[in-house]
C-alpha cells in the first residue's frame, strides 16, 4: 500500500495509486501521535473493534492494533462508555480512549467496504493477538 500497488484494495485506481500512498502516511502519523501523546489526534483516528482490539483508520483503510506490556500478559482495553468512570476533573475530549499499556502491536490491515469492519478481519486480528501474546509468555 505504501507504494500505491495494493491491487486487492477495492478502491485501487491503478499503480501507483496516490490515495493509497497518502492513506498510509496518514495512518502512520496517527500511530505516531498515539505513541507520543497516549491518545488519538482526533475522534475519527481510531475505533474499538472487539475484545481489546482497536483500529487506526483513514478514509476506507484500516490497521488493527492492540496493547500489551510485552510480558506475555494481555488485558483488553475497551472504549470507556461512561464519562463518570474517568477522573471527575477530566476535561479531556478523549476520555473515552482507555489508558493503553506501553506497547502497541499492529496486526492486520484491510479496506473497509461497508459500515462495519469485516468479521473475518476482526477475527484475524484477534487470532494474531492471541499468537503474539502467547509468544511473549513462552
Q: Nine-digit cell at 59?
A: 478514509
The pLDDT tens digits of the residues spanning 15-53 come to 777 888 888 899 999 999 999 999 999 989 999 999 999
Q: What are phi and psi of 105, to 5 degrees?
A: -115, 130
> How many other CB atoms are there within 10 angstroms of residue 59's CB atom?
14
Q: Tell which residue, 68, 74, 44, 69, has the closest CA to residue 56.
A: 44
pLDDT: which is higher, 135 or 13: 135
Q: Are 24 and 9 in contact (CB under 8 A)?
A: no
> How much is the pLDDT for 33?
96
Q: Nine-digit cell at 60?
A: 476506507
Q: Nine-digit cell at 78?
A: 475497551
Query: What pTM does this model have?
Result: 0.85
> How much is the pLDDT for 32?
96
Dihedral sign for Cα 63, 24, 95, 113, please.
negative
> How much is the pLDDT for 70?
86
The pLDDT tens digits of the residues spanning 58-96 come to 988 999 999 999 888 899 999 988 777 666 666 677 888
> How much is the pLDDT for 65?
98
> How much is the pLDDT for 91?
67
Residues 6-45 as b or e (16 or more Cβ within 10 Å = b): beebeebeeeebebbeebbebbeebbebbeeeebbeeeeb
Q: Strands, E, within the chain: which ranges?
A: 46-50, 53-58, 61-68, 103-111
Q: Under DSSP, is residue 53 helix (H, G, I), strand (E, B) or coil?
A: strand
Amino acid at each position: 500500500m505504501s507504494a500505491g500497488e495494493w491491487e486487492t484494495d477495492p478502491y485501487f485506481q491503478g499503480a501507483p495509486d496516490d490515495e493509497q500512498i497518502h492513506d498510509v502516511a496518514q495512518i502512520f502519523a496517527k500511530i505516531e501521535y498515539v505513541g507520543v501523546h497516549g491518545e488519538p489526534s482526533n475522534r475519527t483516528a481510531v475505533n474499538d473493534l472487539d475484545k481489546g482490539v482497536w483500529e487506526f483508520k483513514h478514509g476506507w483503510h484500516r490497521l488493527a492494533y492492540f496493547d500489551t506490556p510485552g510480558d506475555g500478559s494481555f488485558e483488553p482495553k475497551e472504549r470507556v462508555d461512561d464519562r463518570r468512570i474517568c477522573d471527575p476533573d477530566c476535561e479531556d475530549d478523549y476520555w473515552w480512549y482507555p489508558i493503553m499499556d506501553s506497547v502497541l502491536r499492529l496486526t492486520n490491515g484491510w479496506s473497509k467496504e461497508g459500515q462495519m469492519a469485516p468479521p473475518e478481519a476482526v477475527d484475524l486480528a484477534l487470532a494474531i493477538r492471541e499468537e503474539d501474546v502467547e509468544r511473549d509468555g513462552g
